[in-house]
Structure 1
Amino acid sequence: MAFALTCTAAAQASSGVSSESSAPVIHTEDVYLFYTVYDAAGGHPTAQQLQHEYMDPGSEGLHRLAELRNVTGASIAKTLAGHPALYSDAKRCMAVLPSVRRRLDAALVKLRQLYPPAEFAPVTIAVGRGKPVGVTDASGVMIGLEALCAINYFEPNVEDRFVHVLAHEYAHVQQAIKAPAFYDDPKPTVLKESLIEGAAEFTGELISGGVANTDLEARARGHEMAIETAFVADEDKTDLSSWLYNGTLTKPGDLGYWVGYRITKAYYQHARDKRQALRDILEMTDARAFLARSGWYPGIRLH
């Protein structure tokens, strides 16, 4: 799945989710621990140092990321040896974390207003092996600072980038808790997975003011009909590689996010009851039925 935002199987909702708190706990201590080890080793920590001084004493969220995506001292050391600039450059993103926390709090207050059943799980911003950018399940959101910092076709303002991506991921938290069978389908169709990602893009924009993948609209402009006609031809396929999770740090992909966003937006714009529409979006269980009710068609103009 390269460096795209990824979904994983949902953990049980009991693992750190709180429906009472007004905002999630946002863990950033792993970032500072990593750079303490990194700086002490002159930018060249060994796999053993990374494992014993960073990974082992790290947060629960870091350990969950390790479990899901093979983040270990050895895997980080391998990426560090091959791409040292990935880690030296990522230091600039540390400075925005306090502002990101404040803005995410505001976005999630808005989420609770628009979607009262919202449940909040912790966010962990850590340092990983260069990918993935983000992993989300019902236990929380795990973001790789170095990976998100390096994406050169996302929002150029780093603070905005982190806020919009975290807002996107928080929509995934709701999906993982409210509709786990839909969200966790191990063999989704292009339509289903695009709606999962598109719903997160739309919800993230609604609460934070911007989407995670800012390049997609510009890439699609003037080609809407051709792209979406091709999407319809592929929507029942389970090979996602033409539409999703096919970007890298330097090459954009994920046009399925954009089509799914447009289908979701069409549904919301056509709905009289916006609060119910957002609930339908986040608790979606039937991709085909949602598409049929959305009013979307290839090339549709949305405001």
Structure 2
Amino acid sequence: MPIDVEKVTSAPPVRAAAVWDDRDVRLYHLALGAGVPETDPGELRYVFEGHERGLQVLPTFGVVAGGTGGVGFQVFDTPGMDIDLAAVLHGGQEITVHRPLPAAARATTVTRVPAVYDKGKAAVIVQESTLVDEDGAPLLTQRNQIFVHGEGGFGGDRGPSERLPAPDREPDLVLQVPTLRQQALLYRLAGDWNPLHADPATARRAGYDRPLLHGLCTFGIAVKAVTDRLLGGDATRVTGCRTRFAGAFFPGETLRLRIWAASGGGRAADGHRLTATAVERDDAPVLTDARITVTDTPTPLH
């Protein structure tokens, strides 16, 4: 079979350089839609290096730091991995923040595959990548779930259930976030060059009438919205976030975010649960099983 689970999970980690500066950070935030309105001090903190409080960095930047694009396809060169990238779907994302990301750094990504699960019709590759600084100290760890259609049924472990359904009550906050028709073209500059997000012919071959917006872009938009509305615009308060990519979202559509305080009691430190849907398509699901965990107090940058 194309995936040799034992070889893949026992392979040594893949190490890659991840170097970025404030230009990369500003470009990433602009690709999420930051900077509107252009005179808002809260928006300028994402995009203007001369802001009086400094340039802040959303933790979701960590998945594209160094131009990796976020999914980390470098693991597909691992011994025992021989799959068709056309069968690959980014199913879920989880980020753990060890320290707030600096606006410029020379770092290293250390990536491994701790597990491959058998979902019957598909295999799920769990990829874990830790971003470490020049001293070897971790900045951020991300875990991706990569679905590979047609590679299941090999008799392996199905893996744990990671569903996190929305609370059974009305949301505490509902936001509508418009996106740009060229948003995917902007986000590609962060390093994800998959033509599905730019080439209409590729999108049609995949069953869509036009290119999609990257799931990680949609997720970044959601994390920014929660940061702005519920965390005083302070990205250093985010300690982790996760989501499942539940459906397509197209550039130019409006994202509807439904947000709940995780405890139901409104304590910020308990975090926030959320879902995202496409307004123009009768609230078609886009993000589900999502959560953002936070700290009560900002973490100073070092």
TM-score range normalised by the length of the shorter chain: under 0.3
Q: TM-score, normalised by structure 2?
A: 0.23
Q: TM-score, normalised by structure 1?
A: 0.23
Higher RCO structure, 1 or 2 (CA under 8 Å, sep 6+): 1
Which has the larger share of strand? 2
